[in-house]
Amino acid sequence: MRINAFEAAAKYVYPSLRRRLVEILYKKGLTQVQVAELLHITQSAVSRYLKMDRGALVEVEKFRDIEEKLEALANEIIKKKPDEYYIHSELVKIALKMLGKGYVCSFHSKVDPEVDPAMCNICLDIFG
């Protein structure tokens, strides 16, 4: 295994979750500047997420339960305008849920051909 689960989560899953959160907020009618302010990131980062230049490798939207959590987080962000630490914490929790449900296994094996999803139960054991 060249890329462990934490590296895969940090490098691919977390950015994909953030990208999807940006998309959800943007589709609610917010401008790129408003999304950037709410998420405590730059407008340039928002633009890159929307253009799929960043965080595009994991199709988060295909996991209905994760999509629901991101939708709820987006609504909470709009209403409460939490700080960046809260948002980060919630995104990490969602990333860990994805790991625990085995949603990242097939993707992990694509970015690291040495990983055999049939043999590796690390995330399921730790986070499941």
Specify the pTM: 0.94
Extract long-range pairs of 123-128: CB within 8 Å, 24+ residues apart. 123/5, 123/99, 124/100, 126/99, 126/100, 127/96, 127/97, 127/99, 127/100, 128/100, 128/101, 128/102
Tally of domains within the chain = 1
* pLDDT, tens only, 86-101: 999 999 999 999 999 9
What's the pLDDT band for 117 if we cut at 50, 70, 90? Answer: confident
**pLDDT tens per residue across span 41-69:** 999 999 999 999 999 999 999 999 999 99
Q: For residue 89, what are the domain limits?
A: 5-127
At a CB cut-off of 8 Å and minimum separation 6, what does 55 contact?
15, 16, 17, 18, 19, 20, 49
Please give the distance of CA 9 from its chain centroid, rounded to a whole number: 8
